[in-house]
Amino acid sequence: MLPKYIPLWPERASTVAGHVDALYVFLIAISVFFTVIVFSMVIGFSVRYRRSRNPIATQIEGSNVLEIFWTVVPLAIAMVIFAWAAVLFFHLERAPKDAMQIYVTGKQWMWKIQHPSGNREINALHIPVNTNIHLTMISQDVIHDFFVPEFRVKHDVLPNRYTELWFNATKTGTYHIFCAEYCGTKHSGMIGEVVVMEPAQYQAWLAGGTGGSLSQQGEKLFTQYGCITCHSGQAGARGPDLAGVYGSQVHLADGRAVAADDNYVRESILSPQAKIVTGYGPIMPTFAGQINEENLIALIAYVKSKAGDKPAAGANAPATAVPQKTGATTK
């Protein structure tokens, strides 16, 4: 027997799913409408003006009204589609400020998840229902694409640069994660699942984690790799104090000012000479090849946790042994 119904699309399980579907249905309706018109006219004209044995040529005058109509109407439809899609795009690209931050690392061929609490998962993402979730994603190798059909969200996951994606799941349950960018021989096997839970269940799941929060893990790494030696926060330190840095504007030796976000902190660890902070020397060594992506994320979480702290008095004054005009380390 045939099923009672054949679904035209996956289940809607996020706050934006209905909006994406509405735009999609509108595009299909417009396409079907004009397809029917065009083919009806082709068939009608083929019958009405089929060739006779003795055709007589007749002069047909153009119609300005008709030309304006078929120019203005398609333009208006195109602008409606553009405006509608642009509003939806900007909504999807701007995560709410209260969103829960979760890190995703793509690797041939798996998804690695790190929660703020320190919990780690592979090919699974546990989240609470009706909560804004903000994913910060990066690839360890090639380009991947994080795609959850039921949420109607997808975004490329790139090597050497963080990309972002957010959603709010409205229904509990388990939903598929796919890689929507061909990434190698086992691309089709790079799958996972999003497990949407009630808040109480999610808190119980979090309680099973060990090893401290992500920022606490980052603090241990900060000491382990010797970062605290230069970034001690004391007056005369050889590196700038990291208290209050994240989310601020950092002034560079070349006169530029850049936003201290996840990508900036990551670059400062792996390529410290790329952006030199005003007042400090280019003395920081690179940690490229020494720190994996998971530990980088933990270090970034630690720097982010200090965003609300205030630098100690005189902490950002460079050490006297470092000339003021030579530049600065950024980490």
pLDDT digits 0-9 by tens, 78-90:
999 999 999 999 9
The CB density around residue 307, as the number of other CB atoms within 10 Å, is 14
pLDDT at 3: 59
Q: If you write DSSP's letter for every residue of 262-320 in order, what string do you get?
A: HHHHHHHHH-TTSSPBTTS-S-PPP-TTTS-HHHHHHHHHHHHHTTT--PPTTTTSPPT
pLDDT digits 0-9 by tens, 259-314:
888 888 888 888 888 888 888 778 888 888 888 888 888 888 888 888 776 665 44
Look at residue 321 and tell me whether its pLDDT is greater than 70. Answer: no
Closest Cα to residue 232, out of 331, 300, 324?
A: 331
Look at residue 24 and tell me whether its pLDDT is greater than 90. Answer: yes
How large is the average pLDDT for residues 229-250? 81
What are the start and end residues of each CATH 2.60.40.420 domain in the chain?
8-40+65-210
pLDDT at 249: 87
Residues in the chain: 331
Across 47-150, the runs of DSSP E, i.e. the strands, are 100-107, 110-114, 120-122, 124-128, 132-139, 144-148
CATH number of 214-305: 1.10.760.10
pLDDT at 210: 67
Which CATH architecture describes the domain 8-40+65-210?
Sandwich (2.60)
How large is the average pLDDT for residues 33-54? 85
Tokens of 326: 């030579």
pLDDT at 323: 37
Phi-psi region of 327 (alpha: psi -120 to 50; beta: other; left: phi over 0): left
How large is the average pLDDT for residues 206-218? 79
Tokens of 32: 């079907």
Instruction: Answer for the pair 329, 240: CB distance below 8 angstroms, yes or no.
Output: yes
Phi and psi at 248, nearest 5°, equal -100, 175
The CB density around residue 143, as the number of other CB atoms within 10 Å, is 14
- Report yes or no on whether pTM surpasses 0.95: no
What are the start and end residues of each CATH 1.10.760.10 domain in the chain?
214-305
321 vs 213, higher pLDDT: 213
